[in-house]
Amino acid sequence: MSDLILSVEEADITIGGKPLFEDLTFHIHSGAKIALVGRNGAGKTTLMNVITGARDLDGGTRWTLAGVKIGYMQQQITPLPGQTVLDFVFSGMGRALEEWEKTYKVEMVLEPLDLTITDRMDVLSGGQMRRAALARALVEEPDILLLDEPTNHMDLEIIRWLENYLKNYPGAVVCVSHDRAFLAAMTDRVFWLDRGSLRVSPKGFADFENWSREMLEQEARALRNREVKVGQELAWANRGVKARVKRNVRRVSQAREAAALLEKDKAAFRRITSRVSLPPPTKEESSQNIAEFINAGKSFHDPKTGRDLVVLDRFNMRIRRGDRFGIMGRNGSGKSTFLKMLTGEMAPDSGKVKRNKEQHFAYFDQARTALDPDKTLQENLCPPGADHLNVRGKMRHVCGYLKDFLFDPQDAWRKASTLSGGQQNRLMLARVLADPGTFLILDEPTNDLDMDTLDMLEDVLNAYEGTLFIVSHDRDFLDRTVEKLLVFEGQGQIEGIIGNYSDYLIYKEKQGMEAAQDDVAPPSGKNASTKPQAAGEKDKEPIRMTYKLKYELEQLPDKIAALEQELATLKESLSDPDLYGRDADLFHDLSRRLPQAEEMLAEAENRWLELEEMRMQAEG
């Protein structure tokens, strides 16, 4: 066992006059990689604050080894005016860094997180801001690193890099995340917050499902045994006893107290093991083909770079009733645009998108724009003035329906603005799943959800018989819910896979391309050289063409042909002796463009030769 660096023993914590934890005990050892899991509201944030010391205990003791440094990934950031990413990331360091140290940390942390160090913090997107907060926590290198949903709004390549970084991180890590695959890859134990107590699994999250199932099965057996015993005591009490016998009166009272406690514990157990069922959709007589993209093209002009960002390029796809697609890709690669074109909210620039008019779309928006923060949960779910809502043709009372989504019935009269991010996501899911229609689209539904809600959502989606599209970076969630993948690589490059995320990885490996691999694998070993090897030396590691390079090579002949045609047109126009007299501005424009086109053609031809040589080496 590694060295103990933090310990909390027999701690009591009360919030709003109600006990959240009683007799809480846990220990953190140097180098431990801990997954902290529990339902929303179970106390994960409070426990994090106990670890940092920001939350005082109402009873018990907290001890830390002298000199231990604790770091926490910031959730709320208020950037200083003009502050750059570089300044923000290093502003939390307790000591001045040498220039080589800064350079090293930039290369180790900032570059893999896809951050531009000169960008100003006040113009970053929400996802970039989270990555900057993560970078700051990582470069501080604390002895205990606390991470709260570090993978939210991150691309898969960054998530996989972070997994490897944390596995090799020398300090202890306590991580809250809904990403099962991420937790399974980097943790070696689990803290499970369950109904006011903390249970510790000595194995990582990869074993958590089996371990927690065993714990609940043991609890179910214990409840059944208690039920038999309490039933016997109540049967005796109900036969009637002489009131003057104090011993008998006390026994009757104890039996009824035990019965009340049993019912309370059984209700809590039912809540922790509850699932939502979704009635099957009404069958339709419509065609099996419900949507089709035909040579669809879409692009946007980026004013920052002056270039066109291609989302779809002569894209063809047929969607059939009952298809279950997962959609992955980098932020900004076009996933949301694709969905808007699918639903008819946005039109293609070229080609067309055909939709079956009988389809009823239900859309989960990760921005939760459909929720009114000033309205109560009841008002967000029910028609005005009503306390019942139509759930797939069956009228349900709002309190009972909210219980399906792990809310307390009393929450029905709370304003949506008072909910946490995870609770707002649950409310949004409740709203969408009340009428999921024939075509359900979920855009990052797993953000901020706890494991129990994820299990519930997976069960609901697996019972859903309509057409399903899910945008997610959560690999485990995709493995459990979809049968096909669309992977958006950027610049109109979309790869279709039959299967789930695990199948996609196998496909990539067969292609000789791991998802996080560089474009060309460099020679390995510290003495690796780019010089040709002499006869008898060990063969060099073979060059392998990635999908991106193959795609670039395939596109270059068309690009070269287009440039050659443009050059021919430019030269023909400029050969007209009367052009300058007719249109001097056009003459100057064509004169400026000619050398640019010639340079672009030379670069394209050289790139084609380079890639063609690489292809021949890879195949030979």
* Neighbour tally for 299: CB within 10 Å: 19
| Tokens, residue 128 | 């970039």
Q: In the predicted model, is pLDDT for residue 531 greater than 90?
A: no
Question: End-to-end distance of the chain based on CA atoms, in angstroms?
Answer: 52
Q: At what angle do helices 584-619 and 547-574 cross, to 10 degrees?
A: 150
Q: In the predicted model, is pLDDT for residue 60 greater than 50?
A: yes
Residue percentage of the chain with pLDDT more than 70: 81
Q: Specify the range with the lowest mean pLDDT, choosing from 117-131, 277-291, 347-361, 587-601.
A: 277-291
Compute the distance between CA of residue 8 and CA of residue 222 in angstroms, rounded to an integer: 28
289-501: CATH topology: Rossmann fold (3.40.50)
Sequence-distant (6+) residues with CB within 8 A of 359 are: 286, 290, 291, 437, 438, 439, 467
Average pLDDT rounded to a whole number, residues 357-379: 85
The alpha carbon dihedral of 332, 333, 335, 338 has a sign of positive
Average pLDDT rounded to a whole number, residues 191-209: 87
Q: pLDDT per residue over 480-511, tens digit each?
A: 888 888 888 877 888 888 777 877 777 777 76
Confidence tier at 286 by pLDDT (50, 70, 90):
very low
Residue 518: per-residue pLDDT: 44
Q: Specify the range with the lowest mean pLDDT, choosing from 383-397, 541-555, 567-581.
A: 541-555
Residue entry with tokens 């929450």: 411
Residue 262: per-residue pLDDT: 62
Amino acid code (one letter) for 381: L
User: Does the predicted model carry a pTM greater than 0.85?
Assistant: no
Give me the residues paired with residue 528 across strands. none
- pLDDT top residue among 41 and 186: 186
| Tokens, residue 401 | 């329906």
Residue entry with tokens 């969905």: 339
Q: pLDDT per residue over 383-401, tens digit each?
A: 888 888 888 778 889 898 8
- pLDDT top residue among 584 and 413: 413
4-210: CATH topology: Rossmann fold (3.40.50)
Q: Please provide the DSSP assignment of 451-477 as one string.
A: HHHHHHHHHHHHH--SEEEEE-S-HHH
Q: pLDDT per residue over 399-438, tens digit each?
A: 988 888 888 888 889 998 888 878 888 899 889 888 888 8
Confidence tier at 517 by pLDDT (50, 70, 90):
very low
121 close to 86: Cβ distance less than 8 angstroms:
no
Q: In the predicted model, is pLDDT for residue 470 greater than 50?
A: yes
Reduced to 3 states (helix: H, G, I; strand: E, B; else coil), residue 55 is coil
Q: Please provide the DSSP assignment of 196-263 as one string.
A: TEEEEESS-GGGHHHHHHHHHHHHHHHHHHHHHHHHHHHHHHHT---TT-HHHHHHHHHHHHHHHHHH
Q: Which CATH number fits domain 547-619: 2.40.37.10, 1.10.287.380, 3.40.1010.20, 1.10.3720.10?
A: 1.10.287.380
Residue 243: per-residue pLDDT: 47
Q: In the predicted model, is pLDDT for residue 218 greater than 90?
A: no
Q: In the predicted model, is pLDDT for residue 513 greater than 60?
A: no
- pLDDT top residue among 259 and 449: 449
325 close to 485: Cβ distance less than 8 angstroms:
yes
Q: pLDDT per residue over 300-323, tens digit each?
A: 876 666 677 788 888 888 888 888
Residue 103: per-residue pLDDT: 77
Q: Which residues of 65-214 form beta strands (DSSP E)?
A: 70-72, 144-148, 172-176, 189-194, 197-201
Q: pLDDT per residue over 151-185, tens digit each?
A: 887 878 888 889 999 999 999 999 998 888 899 99
Compute the distance between CA of residue 428 and CA of residue 363 in angstroms, rounded to an integer: 10
Residue 29: per-residue pLDDT: 94
Q: In the predicted model, is pLDDT for residue 568 greater than 60?
A: yes
What is the average pLDDT score of the chain?
Answer: 79
Amino acid code (one letter) for 349: D
Residue 241: per-residue pLDDT: 52
Compute the distance between CA of residue 426 and CA of residue 454 in angstroms, rounded to an integer: 10
